[in-house]
Amino acid sequence: MKTRPFKQVDVFTDQPYFGNPLAVVLDGSGLDDEAMQRFARWTNLSETTFVLPPADPAADYRVRIFTPGGELPFAGHPTLGSCHAWLQAGGTPKRQDFIVQECQVGLVNIRREGARLAFAAPPLQRSAPSPAVLAQVAAALGLKAQHILAAQLLDNGPVWLGLLLDSADTVLQLQPDHAVLKKHGLKVGIAGAHQAQTAPVLIARANREARAFSGSTPTGPAETATADFEVRAFAAPIGIEEDPVTGSLNASLAQWLIAEGHAPERYVAAQGTCLGRAGRVYLTRETDTRGSAQVWVGGPSVTCINGTVTL
């Protein structure tokens, strides 16, 4: 065992203790899988990461991501939080335009957006869930058929059953049976708009969205930012009944909802409200001159604990 640099950061908030906490061991060298998993169980946070030298020469660093129940190939808030901690600890990117993170899902580009960081959402695979599975999950959530506007299985490393509900109020009122969700083995991500939309593109919010994605530093604390959608993430199969703020889920939801016309190309998602948090996730889809689209998932991070850990 040795002393290693350590940070605990709060992600998707610029005010401490209102986002999703992440434990970051900044030197994971020499630790085996069992030691990493044991420490992740001990921290009892939704995720703990271990920063390592990259295996791919194109990457700036490599990260391994653990929940209390196992390792993840990719996750959003650990990506932004680990990058924040690495930069704060003196990490220097090889490129000026991006920080490149290596993880099990591959290389992930991260860019600076004023005071925020944003990662490029990994490619998404999606498909329709079976009616039987959808009915079982809806029952575990206490939902009736009319509450569900759309549903998809979403896979960008982690796999989620994504549900678009009729309103943000319906999302906030959910009281899931987590034991039943765990039995089905599915993580479930829920989204609902804060206002009923009569058109697929939310034109009325264009001015606010333009300000939010201008690249400037947010003018107020993240918890006061007006949100377009409310999101909740239920992950009982990996030992987390409800995750406060989930970057990978918001990435896949945005790729799906924007592509199907359920959301604008730029919007803000709130998550963690029912847990006393006030996370804000900034989503935008950019299309290049060749017509290729990329969703970016951004948010601020703040360091709450800075020190060392013996591992």
Please indicate, yes or no, whether residues 171 and 137 belong to a single structural domain of this protein: yes
Residue 216 predicted with pLDDT over 60: no
Please indicate, yes or no, whether residues 84 and 167 belong to a single structural domain of this protein: no
Positions annotated as catalytic residues are: 47
Please indicate, yes or no, whether residues 97 and 129 belong to a single structural domain of this protein: no
Please indicate, yes or no, whether residues 114 and 221 belong to a single structural domain of this protein: no
Beta bridge partners of 240: 235
| Distance from C-alpha of 239 to C-alpha of 113, rounded to nearest angstrom | 33
Angle, helices 247-259 vs 76-88, to 10°: value is 120
Asked if 114 and 219 touch (Cβ cutoff 8 Å), the reply is no
**The whole model's pTM is what?**
0.88
Please indicate, yes or no, whether residues 167 and 241 belong to a single structural domain of this protein: yes
Please indicate, yes or no, whether residues 276 and 166 belong to a single structural domain of this protein: yes
Percent residues over pLDDT 90 in the chain: 82
Check residue 239 and give its pLDDT: 80
Please indicate, yes or no, whether residues 30 and 10 belong to a single structural domain of this protein: yes
Check residue 225 and give its pLDDT: 67
Check residue 222 and give its pLDDT: 42
Check residue 251 and give its pLDDT: 96
Please indicate, yes or no, whether residues 129 and 108 belong to a single structural domain of this protein: no
Looking at the 3D structure of the chain, how many domains does it have?
2
Query: Among the listed ranges 43-57, 129-143, 205-219, which one has the minimum average pLDDT value?
Result: 205-219
Terminal-to-terminal C-alpha distance of the chain: 5
Please indicate, yes or no, whether residues 193 and 280 belong to a single structural domain of this protein: yes
Please indicate, yes or no, whether residues 102 and 167 belong to a single structural domain of this protein: no
- Residues 205-232: what's their mean pLDDT? 55
Ramachandran area for residue 78 (φ above 0: left; ψ -120 to 50: alpha; else beta): alpha
Average pLDDT, the chain: 90
Q: What is the pLDDT of residues 99-125, one digit of tens each?
A: 999 999 899 999 999 989 999 999 999
Cα→Cα distances 212→7, 15, 72, 217, Å = 28, 17, 30, 9
Q: Six-digit token pair at 300?
A: 């601020």
Check residue 44 and give its pLDDT: 92
CB atoms inside a 10 Å sphere around CB 226: 11
Per the structure, the complete domain to which residue 98 belongs is given by 3-121+301-310
Please indicate, yes or no, whether residues 81 and 165 belong to a single structural domain of this protein: no
| Residues in CB range of 64: below 8 A, 6 or more apart | 28, 36, 49, 50, 52, 71, 103, 104
DSSP codes of every residue in 11-47: ES-SSTTSSEEEEEES--TT--HHHHHHHHHHHTSS-
| Distance from C-alpha of 293 to C-alpha of 97, rounded to nearest angstrom | 18
| Distance from C-alpha of 112 to C-alpha of 106, rounded to nearest angstrom | 20
* φ/ψ (deg, to 5) at 150: -160, 155
- Residues 173-191: what's their mean pLDDT? 95
Q: What is the pLDDT of residues 289-310, one digit of tens each?
A: 888 899 999 999 999 999 999 9
**Token pair 């290693």 in the structure block, residue:** 4
CB atoms inside a 10 Å sphere around CB 190: 27
Q: Residue 151 maps to which CATH number?
A: 3.10.310.10
| Distance from C-alpha of 122 to C-alpha of 248, rounded to nearest angstrom | 9
Residue 75 predicted with pLDDT over 60: yes
Please indicate, yes or no, whether residues 62 and 135 belong to a single structural domain of this protein: no
Q: What is the pLDDT of residues 22-51, one digit of tens each?
A: 999 999 999 999 999 999 999 999 899 999
